[in-house]
């Protein structure tokens, strides 16, 4: 089988950063090719160059043996290249059908052909196994449904090359299975799939070949993924061996720091109760819709509670708003970093200082010197990879954005309880290890930490105890000495009659 997509000596630099340096590799026709690397390794830049969004400083791209010269994204589209980014490119106020036909609406005698507009999309969605109403506005869809619409858009135009950037990060297990089936069908039709993911299970399940980038350079290229091991890939990504990504170690636990009694709200109608001790990392696990994130938002005051008492160090917290919770020492790193965690149009410095400004601006007058010193301190402490504290936070990788959010709360005096929802979603293995180390350090200092994760290996790997949620209730609390995959999954399932016959993969497809 011949090489179909070729990157030849691609280099791209930005002020203070060499994002890509002489990157060359090729992909065969009909192959699913994995692209891996730590956050900041150059993956996103390479995809931007492929899509025509950025121009390489040097080098060339060939598709089917022909050199491609892009002046815009439209040129790449005409060449048969579709990129599906983590940040979806849909028009929220248009319907699903309108988004799929955008830029090429069907017409009869100059008049929009609504029957074809909707009918073709309905037929295509059914063919792909996607149960979404073509007439529904995109704004009404879940994040996972929007992702499926993006993928359907690529299939609609018979793309020759499709690049998927962390495609399952917002998908449910069932939606991920639909995606995997679509990828298999596209592969059979000869489409090249460039699959960017930090999830090794997905890489080994789907990919025929693999390229690893590190610091903007080609770290490794594997034409046959069956000849490479997981440990080898991790070492190639981070430039060092990571014997134990979780790094958990025992630490002394103190008295009860957080106590939650009969907490409930409109999205969490069943009252829940639990405690967390000083220095303890409590994990919350459950399937999609179990109520984990809803619990965190109630606890933090982001959603109104209908009942319940929250006590920190014996003092009752009036969590009518996040501001009250922050003053009581309860803070949240939300599930959706870009939507709820960062201020996208602002710098790293501003994002870090936004909560703690009142500490050094007692009369409402900003203190740029103090803000700069604070940002520099936590950029160094948390090893945020950036050329400057004035860098826009939107330009950072997911792992570095997560570190900035953590830095915001660490700069806040008196934090006692940290809630962190999906701490490593879309983050590479090296950055994951660094995030875990930060959590262990905070726990060792006496902070009570609640980690919410949909990844069972992660929740088992880094926590001292797991609260398993099912249908809005805490179905079980399991100590680390009793961690067992099947027991946790059984507690998470509404119907446990077949739990002994289930694997993680089977549960994920439910």
Please count the structural domains in the chain: 3
Q: Are residues 115 and 144 in the same domain?
A: yes
Q: Are residues 154 and 224 in the same domain?
A: yes
- Residue 363: phi, psi to the nearest 5? -110, 20
Q: Are residues 107 and 213 in the same domain?
A: yes
In a domain, residue 389? The reply is yes
What is residue 231's DSSP assignment? H
Q: Are residues 178 and 322 in the same domain?
A: no
Do strands 473-479 and 417-421 pair parallel, antiparallel, or not at all (unpaired)?
A: unpaired
What pLDDT shows up at residue 499? Answer: 42
Tell me how far apart the alpha carbons of residues 266 and 472 are, in angstroms, rounded to a whole number.
11
Tell me how far apart the alpha carbons of residues 469 and 424 are, in angstroms, rounded to a whole number.
20
CB of 405 within 8 A of CB of 348?
A: no
Q: Are residues 102 and 219 in the same domain?
A: yes
What pLDDT shows up at residue 24? Answer: 96
In a domain, residue 460? The reply is yes
What pLDDT shows up at residue 496? Answer: 45
Judged by phi (left if over 0) then psi (alpha if -120 to 50, else beta), residue 112 lies in beta
Tell me how far apart the alpha carbons of residues 437 and 427 are, in angstroms, rounded to a whole number.
14
Tell me how far apart the alpha carbons of residues 116 and 104 are, in angstroms, rounded to a whole number.
12
Among 193, 211, 238, give the residue marking a domain's end: 238
Query: Which range of residues forms the domain containing residue 385?
Result: 342-413
Stated as kind and residue range, the H or E segment containing 281 is: strand 281-285
Q: What angle do CA 144, 149, 150 make, to 5 degrees?
A: 95
Contacts of 471 (CB under 8 A, 6+ apart): 270, 289, 290, 291, 494
Tell me how far apart the alpha carbons of residues 237 and 37 are, in angstroms, rounded to a whole number.
5
In a domain, residue 244? The reply is no
Among 212, 238, 264, give the residue marking a domain's end: 238
- The pTM (predicted TM-score) of the whole model is 0.61
Q: Are residues 40 and 119 in the same domain?
A: yes
Among 413, 433, 465, give the residue marking a domain's end: 413
Tell me how far apart the alpha carbons of residues 468 and 248 are, in angstroms, rounded to a whole number.
20
What is residue 347's DSSP assignment? B
Q: Are residues 263 and 363 in the same domain?
A: no
The tens digit of pLDDT for each residue in 389-440 reads 888 888 787 778 888 888 887 777 788 999 999 888 767 677 788 889 889 9
In a domain, residue 251? The reply is no
Q: Tell me how crowded residue 429 is: count the other CB atoms within 10 A of its CB.
A: 20
Q: Coil, helix or strand for 445?
A: coil
In a domain, residue 245? The reply is no
Please tell me the total number of residues recorded for the chain in this structure. Answer: 510
In a domain, residue 334? The reply is no
CATH of the domain at 222: 3.40.50.300
Tell me how far apart the alpha carbons of residues 226 and 196 are, in angstroms, rounded to a whole number.
18
Q: Are residues 316 and 409 in the same domain?
A: no
In a domain, residue 190? The reply is yes
Q: Are residues 263 and 351 in the same domain?
A: no
Which stretches of the chain drop beneath a pLDDT of 50?
A: 496-510
Q: Are residues 201 and 106 in the same domain?
A: yes
Q: Which two three-digit tokens encode residue 40?
A: 């900041």
Helix/strand/coil percentages in the chain, nearest 5:
40, 25, 35
Residue located via tokens 């994920």: 508
Q: Are residues 82 and 55 in the same domain?
A: yes
Q: Are residues 262 and 315 in the same domain?
A: yes
Q: Which residues pair with 421 in a beta bridge?
A: 452
């Amino acid at each position: 089988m011949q090489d179909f997509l070729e990157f030849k000596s691609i280099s791209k630099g930005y002020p203070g950063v060499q994002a890509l340096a002489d990157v060359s590799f090729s992909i065969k026709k009909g192959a699913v090719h994995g692209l891996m690397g730590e956050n900041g390794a150059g993956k996103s830049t390479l995809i931007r160059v492929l899509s025509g969004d950025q121009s390489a400083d040097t080098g060339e791209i060939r598709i089917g043996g022909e050199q491609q010269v892009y002046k815009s994204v439209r040129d790449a589209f005409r060449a048969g290249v579709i990129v599906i980014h983590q940040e979806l490119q849909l028009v929220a106020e248009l319907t699903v059908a309108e988004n799929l036909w955008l830029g090429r609406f069907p017409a009869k005698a100059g008049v929009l052909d609504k029957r074809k507009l909707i009918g073709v999309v309905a037929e295509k969605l059914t063919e792909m196994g996607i149960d979404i109403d073509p007439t529904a506005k995109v704004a009404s869809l879940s994040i996972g449904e929007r992702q499926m619409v993006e993928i359907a858009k690529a299939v609609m135009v018979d793309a020759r090359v499709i690049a998927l950037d962390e495609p399952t990060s917002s998908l449910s297990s069932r939606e991920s299975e639909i995606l995997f089936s679509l990828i298999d069908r596209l592969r059979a039709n000869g489409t090249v799939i460039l699959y960017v993911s930090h999830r090794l299970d997905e890489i080994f399940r789907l990919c025929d070949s693999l390229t690893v980038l590190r610091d903007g350079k080609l770290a490794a290229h594997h034409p046959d993924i069956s000849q490479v091991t997981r440990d080898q890939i991790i070492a190639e990504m981070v430039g060092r061996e990571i014997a134990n990504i979780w790094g958990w170690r025992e630490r002394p636990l103190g008295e009860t720091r957080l106590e939650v009694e009969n907490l409930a709200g409109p999205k969490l109608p069943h009252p829940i109760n639990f405690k967390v001790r000083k220095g303890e990392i409590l994990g919350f696990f459950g399937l999609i819709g179990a109520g984990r994130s809803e619990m965190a938002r109630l606890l933090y005051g982001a959603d109104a509670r209908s009942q319940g008492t929250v006590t920190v160090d014996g003092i009752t917290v009036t969590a009518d708003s996040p501001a009250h919770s922050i003053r009581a020492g309860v803070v949240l790193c939300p599930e959706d970093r870009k939507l709820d965690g960062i201020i996208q149009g602002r710098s790293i410095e501003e994002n870090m200082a936004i909560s703690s400004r009142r500490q050094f601006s007692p009369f409402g007058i900003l203190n740029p010197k103090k803000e700069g010193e604070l940002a520099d301190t936590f950029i160094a402490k948390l090893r945020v990879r950036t050329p400057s504290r004035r860098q826009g936070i939107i330009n950072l990788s997911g792992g570095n954005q997560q570190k900035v959010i953590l830095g915001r709360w660490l700069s806040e005096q008196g934090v006692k309880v940290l809630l962190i929802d999906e701490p490593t979603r879309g983050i590479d293995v090296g950055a994951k290890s660094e995030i875990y180390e930060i959590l262990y350090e905070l726990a060792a200092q006496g902070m009570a930490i609640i980690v919410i994760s949909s990844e069972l290996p992660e929740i088992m790997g880094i926590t001292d105890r797991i609260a398993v949620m099912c249908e809005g209730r805490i179905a079980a609390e399991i100590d680390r000495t009793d961690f067992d995959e099947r027991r946790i999954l059984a507690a998470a399932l509404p119907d446990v009659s077949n739990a002994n016959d289930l694997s993680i993969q089977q549960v994920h497809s439910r």
